[in-house]
Amino acid sequence: MQRASVYVHFPWCLQKCPYCDFVSRPTTRAEIPHEAYADAVLSELEARREETRSRALVSVFFGGGTPSLWEARSLGRVLEGVRRAFATEEPDLEITAECNPSSLDRDKAQGLAAVGVNRMSVGVQSLDTARLKFLGRLHDGAGALTALEHALEAVPRVSGDLIFGQPGQSAAEFEGEVEALTRLGLRHVSAYALTIEPDTQFGALAKKGKLPLAKEDDVADAFLATRAAFAARGLGHYEISNYAVPGEESRHNLHYWRGGDYVGLGAAAVGCVSDATTRSARRWRNTPNASAYLAAAGARDLDAMAADRETLSPADRIREALMLGLRTREGVDLAALAARTGVDPRTDRRAALARRTASGDLTLDGEVLRVPPERWLWLDGIVADLF
């Protein structure tokens, strides 16, 4: 039986962060159509029953935006519908909700747990008040730690997000934040370098030369110091931006990075499901306009709902598998990839593979291709050479 994860996008937040390029619209709590949006997502789910009814459910992830703004009852209705839509599900199904500290109090954490959420990913980003203000966050350091405590009381698995490579941030300061999160009991942390995307407030400021930025060498040094800080506390570097105690890795993200199928639901959600007969895959992206999505989903009109669609050839799927899988410590199983796509991934890449393995940028252990973690600073160039 084919396996698939589900991603549900919640497109609202209280305030748009200046570095964020995800699809989200700032609004007030009172303006969020909690029940109507749940109805729309469930209608879309019914319209996509061909993608679910013969598959096994691997994981569910509520992302955004700020899903912790969604009323727990409404989110729970969607989760119940998702679980019913699949033929079967993984034991101990991982169900994650992204949460912001400003919308995660004890009642909300307990409410999410009561409807089935068993993992929370909390957008801490920093524990320093000045840096949180620079990042446009609505919480302070104490509020972030309190939100994490509420999450840890409610569910067995909690992850926190941090951003390093901020201007003026020292490695020692960031290590202090790592220490604070792990001391609370977090067994998974995502640590991202501050990236300036063009279609953001930070992108516009950077284009005008009005945004302070860390030097590239300082960001690289921070990346290496971050890895050492987590390793000293028992969290392994299992993906370029993710650290976990063994066994606490994000199952949902691992499914993505391994090239698994996923069903995207909600405004701006992306889904991709494979066809075992043609070895191709169908990808769709829903309209990012929440009002348009509500109307189209209510009518179960997938054509009106879609912002775009594409078919991925076996060659396309190989390129994506290499791009995603080589971000991880486990790498890419070339034999499994060939079986999945019907094409040997080595075809047209033998010279690049030989060159990169000779230089130490790649290792080939049997059928498993990896980028050694000590070369992850140069990952983009290594992967680009395989395209």
Check residue 362 and give its pLDDT.
Answer: 97
Q: Quick one: which of 222, 134, 226, 116 has its CA closest to 181?
A: 226
Q: Name the H helices within 21-93.
A: 34-47, 72-85
Q: Which two tokens stand for residue 62?
A: 């509520």
In this predicted structure, the answer to whether residue 196 has a pLDDT above a threshold of 90 is no
Span 241-269, average pLDDT: 97
Mean pLDDT over each residue of the chain, to the nearest integer: 95
**At the topology level of CATH, where does 315-384 sit?**
Arc Repressor Mutant, subunit A (1.10.10)
Share in percent of the chain as helix, strand, coil (round to 5): 45, 25, 35
Q: Where are the beta strands (DSSP E) in 245-373?
A: 261-265, 270-274, 281-286, 306-312, 332-333, 363-365, 368-370
Asked if residues 305 and 316 have their Cβ atoms less than 8 Å apart, the reply is: no
| CATH architecture assigned to 3-256 | Alpha-Beta Barrel (3.20)
**What are the boundaries of each domain within the chain?**
3-256, 315-384
pLDDT in tens, 63-102: 999 999 999 999 999 999 999 999 999 999 999 999 999 9
In this predicted structure, the answer to whether residue 279 has a pLDDT above a threshold of 90 is yes
Residues 6+ apart with CB under 8 A from 59: 5, 6, 90, 93, 94, 95, 96, 251, 252, 255
In this predicted structure, the answer to whether residue 44 has a pLDDT above a threshold of 90 is yes
Q: What's this model's pTM, rounded to 2 decimal places?
A: 0.95
pLDDT band at residue 168 using 50, 70 and 90 as cut-offs:
confident
Check residue 290 and give its pLDDT.
Answer: 95
Span 265-284, average pLDDT: 95
Q: Which two tokens stand for residue 22?
A: 């995800």
Check residue 214 and give its pLDDT.
Answer: 85
pLDDT band at residue 61 using 50, 70 and 90 as cut-offs:
very high
pLDDT in tens, 349-369: 999 999 999 999 999 999 999
Q: Which two tokens stand for residue 354?
A: 């030989």
